[in-house]
Amino acid sequence: MGSAELVIVGGGISGLSLAYFLLKKNPQLDLKIIEAEEKVGGKIVTENISGFLCEGGVNGFLNNKPSTLRLASELNIEPIKGSESSKVRYLLIDGKMIKVPENPIKFFLSSILSISGKIRMLKEYFVPPVKEHTEETVESFVTRRVGREFYEKLIDAMSTGIYAGDPSKMSMKSCFPKVYWLEKKYGGLIRGLIALRKERKDVKAQPSAVLMSFKTGMAELVYSLESNLSSKIIKGNRVIGITKQNSYYSVYLENGDTVESEKVVLSCPAYETADILKELNREISDILKTIPYPPLSVVAFGFKKEQIGFGTSLYGFLIPYREKRKILGTLFDSSIFPNRAPEGYVLLRSMIGGRRAPELAMLSDENLTETVLYELKSILNIKGDPEFVKIFRWEKAIPQYELGHEEKLNRIDTILNKFPGLYITGNAYRGVSVNDCIENSLKLAEKI
């Protein structure tokens, strides 16, 4: 296949956005993107089936980081804002759906926490910070600072909503670094929030982050990048290994071809990167294999509006582990963005599986549908059967940032220093969201 100045392995949002940023800086750059699948985009998948616009993975991004919005603008695609309904969120607490107030005072007055739970939350102001820099799990950190009840009812559900993870294993520092550093910098969370408010008092108040997507779904971003980069993309070709001789890397493809390049970026999942690097450096390969990717399934249902007794004007709901339910939560996609369901219909997407219950994600289609539907009917008072069902099954879904994650990254960075021109990026390292991937690609483009 010849040579290239730079090879990007993996055509997900990280690889595509990196290629875009590099070519923007140097349009003459001889660059190749090699993607194993016959399509690009990774886990950003949008399918329009019978008028239901279904997201197989992420359904949007927050507008609180400029890089994604700037990229969309440069690609001439128009983001759309989530509706007012997208601000209405629920938790399932003790078997009942309870609305989560946006206002901190209203939250404190709500029935989410018991009186003792509220008192314990307020005592956070007097909880001393941990002096030593020992790494903590999300469960340990939150319980220590704001109490067991706050953790079990809110943070547990939020953690599984973002990562489909197990907070008793997740690293607080790696998963929620901004909250982690509030304690380190200010001595506590309440103290930190008060200090931040004082620091910003002379700055015009910023509106809270809003959920965004695109008219034809998140895949619109992928298709726009693909169109922009089409001459650079090689699809349906899996990279199986890399070797280095002098200053050149040889990238070996499954079909027998080889590409020579001075610079290689691996932007595929950590487990694939591990296989590719096993001959070049066994230690990095072994480290990458320890990043877990539990299975997760997304089950989409189409109902008539009148079938849902609970109502439909909401973003969705999350379920704390203490409720012992089979699903992690459900999004009302048709209430969040327009054109997600035909007129008079509702599109729901439920998540099942994850780190704590991986076996549920891999049930047969029939059992999976039955299991999720049983939960939804009891929670949302749904009558009758759905008019539409679509399953998106991810055998290896969201990478988990568990205890020791930062240590792994530091060790990988140290080893990579011995391999000039070799880079690793993607959602397995420093942020799982679309915003994180694009922001990290922008930084990497600057570095390269």
Phi then psi dihedrals of residue 411, to 5 deg: -65, -40
Q: 444: which residues sit within 8 A by CB, 6+ positions away?
A: 18, 265, 423, 425
Using alpha carbons, select from 362, 350, 349, 351 the residue that is nearest to residue 295.
362
In this prediction, residue 327 carries a pLDDT of: 98
Evaluate whether 426 touches 270 at the Cβ level (below 8 Å).
Answer: yes
Indicate the domain borders of the chain. Answer: 2-38+222-292+404-447, 60-66+74-99+210-217+294-397, 103-199
Summarised one tens digit per residue, pLDDT across range 108-133 is: 899 999 999 999 999 999 999 987 77
| pLDDT above 70: percentage of residues in the chain | 98
Tell me the C-alpha distance between 9 and 276, whole Å: 10
* 375 vs 76: CA distance, rounded Å: 41
What CATH number was assigned to the domain covering residues 2-38+222-292+404-447?
A: 3.50.50.60
Residue 207: the pLDDT is: 57
Residue 401: Cβ within 10 Å count = 29
Give the span between the Cα atoms of 327 and 263, in whole angstroms: 43
Answer for the pair 337, 82: CB distance below 8 angstroms, yes or no. Answer: yes
Residue of 319, 271, 313 lying closest to 293 (CA atoms): 271
In tens, the pLDDT along 227-247 reads 999 999 999 999 999 999 999
In words, the CATH class of domain 60-66+74-99+210-217+294-397 is: alpha beta
Tens of pLDDT, residues 306-328: 999 999 999 999 999 999 999 99
**Residue pLDDT, tens place only, 26-81:** 999 999 999 999 999 999 999 999 999 999 999 999 998 899 999 999 999 999 99
35-39, 102-106, 185-189, 425-429: least confidently modelled range = 102-106
Strand 258-266 to 422-424 pairing: parallel
Enter the CATH code of domain 103-199: 1.10.3110.10
284: pLDDT strictly greater than 50: yes
Mean pLDDT of all residues belonging to the chain: 95
Find the angle CA(244)-CA(250)-CA(251) to the nearest 5 degrees: 125
> What is the model's pLDDT at position 3?
85
DSSP 424-445: E-STTTS--SHHHHHHHHHHHH
